[in-house]
Amino acid sequence: MRRNYVAILLILSVVEFLPIFLAPNPPSLGGDGLGHLFKVHELMTEGWVPWIEEWYAGFPFLHFYPPAPYIIAGLLGKLFGSDVKGYAAVLMLTSFLGALGLHTYLRRLGKESYVAPVVFLLFPWRLGVAYVEGNFPRANAINLAPLFLLGVLYLTEYRERYLVLSALMISFVSLTHHSILVPLILIALVLHWNDLKSVHAIGNSLRVGGAVVFLTAFWYVPFFIDRGWTHFWDIYTDKWLFHGYSVSPSLFVRPPGVFIVALLAMAIAIGIRRQRLDPKKVILIGTCAYLSLGQYSPTREIYSLPIISLIPPYRWIDVTSVLIPLIIADSLEGMKPRLKAIAGLTLMLIVALPTAVIIPHIGPYPQNLVEIGGVLKEQHGDNWRFLMYPPIGVAYYSYLPVLSSKDTMNGWYHEGNPAGDGEWRMWSLLETGKNATPYLKAYAVRFFISCTDTAPHGYTYQRAVGGCKVYKSNVSFVQQVSTLMVGKFYDLPLDYAYVKELPKNLGGVGTIIYSGNPNNETAEELLAFIERGGTLIWAPSTPERLFGVNATTRPITSSELSSRIYNVSSFAPFRYGSSPWYGPVFSNVTPLVRMGKWTLIGVKEIGRGRLYVLGGNFLYHLAYTGSGYETKILRGFIVDEKRLKVESVERGEGWYSFEIKANGPLLIRVSEAYFPYWTVKVNGSPVKAIRDDRTGLTLLEVDGDSTVVGVFRDPFTRLRHYSLLAWVILLLYAVAKFPPRRKISGPKRSGDNGP
C-alpha cells in the first residue's frame, strides 16, 4: 500500500512539471523563469565560477542567491543534455521530496498522512510560483518546506541518524531560498514548542545547528560578510514596490484565491465538526494572510520591523501551501475510511480545479528574440555589451547571452549587482527621455536595440530585426577619464567619474569638479593639483573661503545677472517652484557672470592651473532644471585631452587583460564592475583599484605604456570544499544508516534507548 502511494506521489510530481520538461529548447518560460534558466545554463557550461560577464557589467555569480536548486539543475541538465530539462527535473524532485516528507512527518505525528500530501502537490499557489511567477528557487523552497518541519521534529530524537537527517534537511531548505526560513521557523516553533523546550531537544538543536553551519557556511558566510554589496530592495520605503508586493484582499474572492479559501473553509468545517481542529494552525494561517496584505494592511508600520522588513509581504502566503494540508490532516484524522475517501476526494477536487488552469502549455522562445540573438552572434568581437530597450520582459532578455554568445546589460535579479545604482540611473534617464549616453558608453554598450522610438544620442541606426531597431556606437572596454567629480554627487549629462573622497596623490586627471566644501587636507591636495596645471571647478553649497576666494550665501536673482561672455537670459530661472533660490556668490575672484556686486561664476589663475568657481548651487540648478545652456558652460571649463590608445583587450569569466599606450599618467575606467575581490596588476605590480561611484565601474591609475591584468579571486571559494566534505560525510552516514529497504520506524520517545 505504502509503496503504491509513494509511486502516486512520484507520478504526480513528474506529471505536474512535464510541460517544462517537454518544452522546446529554449522555451518560453513564464515570469522570471528564463532569468533562472540562464543560471542553470551557465553552471552547465562554465561551472560555478566566482564571477561572470554575461549580465550587467559583470557580477559575482550565485554570491547572494541561494545556490542549491541551480547546482542540482546544472548537474541534472548535464545528465539530460538540456538546461530546461534539468530545471524541470529539479522541480519534480523537490516536489516529490516535499510530498514524501509531509507524508513521513504526518505519520510520525500519528495524523492522517495520505490526503494532505496530494493536496500539497496540487496546491495552486505553489504551482503558481513555479509557472506564473517563474521563481525557480522559491518554488523549490516551497516544495521542500515539509522537510524543514520534519527536520525540526527530528530534534526530539534519541538516535544519531535522525539528527543527521535533520541537519541535512534543514540545510537543504536553507540553501534553496533564504526568505522562506523566517515563516518556517515561526511555524516550527509554534507547532513544536512544547517538545523543543526540553533539555534534550535543546541539546540536539545545538548539535544539529553546528552541523547546519558546516553544511551551509560556503554560502551564508560570504552572504553575510558581503551583505553591504547586495541590492535588496527596501520594499517598505518604496511606494511602488510595496504596492506591487502586497496581496490585495480581492485575491481571496477570485480564482485561484477563492478555491484556496474554499479548501481552507471546508477543512476547518470538518475539523470543527469532528473536534479535531488545531487552533494554532488556524492562527498561523491568519497571521501569514494578514502579513501578506502589505499596503492593504491597517498596520503598515509593522513592515518596518527588522525581521518582517526582510520579507516581501506576498511571500507570507507561501507557507499556506503547507499549513492548509496540515489542517486537512488534522481534520481527517481517525475518520472512517469511506467518509475519509469522500472528504479527501472533495478536497482534492477543489484544489485541482485552479491547478489545471495554472499549468500552461510552454512554447518556444520568442522568435523575434531568436532573430536578435542570431544577429548579435554574427557581430565581431566580445569586448562590448548590448542593451534591449525598454526593460519589459527582462527575464526573456537575460537569456539572450545564451543565443548570442555576447554580454548584455539586461541581467535579471539585481541582488549582488555591484554596478546596480549606476545602472538604475541609466534606466531612469532612458525612461525620462534624458541623455543616458555617458552611461551607455561607460558600460561599453555597442548595440542599443530599441523596441520603441527611443534612439540614444551618438548612436547610429543599423537595421531592423525582430520588430526592433538596432543602433550602434563605437565604444571601448577601457576609457580615459579626464574629469573627476568629488564631494556631493550630481548626475549631469557629461562623461566623468565620481568619488566621494579625493584619492591621495591623484594623477592623470585634467579636471576635478569639487561639489561642497573640502577639509584642510583635501584643500591642500586640490591646491597641489591646480599648481601642477590642473583645472578645479569648485561648487560650494555653503559659505566658505578657498584659495583666497570668499563665498557667501545670497538669494539668486535672475534680473541682476550680467556677463560679457555668456547670454544670461539663457540661464534657467533661479526659482525653486514658487520659492526663491538661494546659493553662494563670490568675491575676490575674476567674474565671468556677475550678480550685482557679487560674482556668480568666476575664474582665478593659480600656479600653472586654473580655478573656476560656480555659485548659486550651480550643479544642483543644472541637474534640477536640465538647462542645456548651463551644461554647455560647464563643458567649456573642462579640459578633455585624449591621450590614451588601447592596443588590445582580452577578457573572460572573472579576468581581463589589456595593453595601452599612454603619454604620461592617466586615470582610466575599465568597463568591469568594481568589487573588493578584484586584484589588479599594472606592469606586474599590484595597484589599488578605485570605484567609480557614478557607474559602479573600476578606475585605475596608470603611468605611460602599460599592461594591465585583473583577476577576480573570491576568498571564500575554499569554504565550498569544506562544506562539500561535510555534505559527503553526512550523506554517506545517512545512506549507511538508512539503506533502501530498511523500514523507518516511529519516533523514539524519552526513555527509549534503542539503537
pLDDT for the residue 640: 83
Residue whose C-alpha is closest to residue 489's, from 501, 478, 481, 480: 501
Give dist(CA 263, CA 534) in Å, integer: 74
Give dist(CA 346, CA 165) in Å, integer: 35
DSSP 364: B
Give dist(CA 417, CA 233) in Å, integer: 12
pLDDT for the residue 753: 35
Residue whose C-alpha cell reads 573661503 in the numeric block? 545
pLDDT for the residue 3: 86
749: amino acid identity, one letter: R
Contact 472, 437 (CB under 8 A): no
Residue whose C-alpha is closest to residue 125's, from 277, 292, 244, 290: 292
pLDDT tens, 494-507? Answer: 999 999 999 987 88
Residue whose C-alpha is closest to residue 84's, from 405, 363, 375: 363
- Identify the three-state secondary structure at position 461: strand
- Identify the three-state secondary structure at position 129: helix
- Identify the three-state secondary structure at position 594: strand
- Identify the three-state secondary structure at position 729: helix
pLDDT for the residue 254: 86
| Secondary structure percentages of the chain, helix, strand, coil, to 5 | 50, 20, 30
pLDDT tens, 311-320? Answer: 899 999 999 9
Q: Report the DSSP beta bridge partners of residue 579.
A: 576
The per-residue b/e assignment along 279-288, b for 16 or more CB within 10 angstroms, e otherwise, is eebbebbebb
DSSP 723: H
pLDDT for the residue 114: 95
Question: Which three cell numbers mark 449?
Answer: 536595440
- Cβ-based neighbours of 240, under 8 Å, separated by 6 or more: none
**SS3 sequence of 492-538:** CCCCCEEECCCCCCCCCCCEEEEECCCCHHHHHHHHHHHHCCCEEEE
- Count of Cβ atoms closer than 10 Å to residue 685 Cβ: 7
96: amino acid identity, one letter: F
693: amino acid identity, one letter: D
pLDDT for the residue 387: 96
Q: Are strands 51-52 and 535-539 parallel, antiparallel or unpaired?
A: unpaired
DSSP codes of every residue in 210-225:
HHHHHHHHHHHHHHHH
Residue whose C-alpha cell reads 527535473 in the numeric block? 89
CA torsion, points 316, 320, 322, 328, in degrees to nearest 10? Answer: 160
Give dist(CA 149, CA 180) in Å, integer: 12
- Count of Cβ atoms closer than 10 Å to residue 754 Cβ: 7
Contact 712, 673 (CB under 8 A): no
Low-confidence ranges of the chain (pLDDT < 50): 742-755
DSSP 303: G
Contact 383, 40 (CB under 8 A): no
Question: Which three cell numbers mark 636?
Answer: 567649456
- Count of Cβ atoms closer than 10 Å to residue 23 Cβ: 22
Model pTM?
0.91
Question: Which three cell numbers mark 225?
Answer: 560578510
pLDDT for the residue 741: 58
DSSP H/E element including 243: helix 239-244
Give dist(CA 555, CA 389) in Å, integer: 42
pLDDT tens, 115-131? Answer: 999 999 999 999 999 99
Residue whose C-alpha cell reads 491547478 in the numeric block? 355
Strands (E), 414-543: 445-450, 460-465, 468-472, 478-480, 483-487, 497-499, 511-515, 535-539
Q: How many CA atoms lie within 13 A of 322 on its CB side?
A: 31
Give dist(CA 357, CA 334) in Å, integer: 33
Question: Which three cell numbers mark 82?
Answer: 538540456
Give dist(CA 102, CA 105) in Å, integer: 5
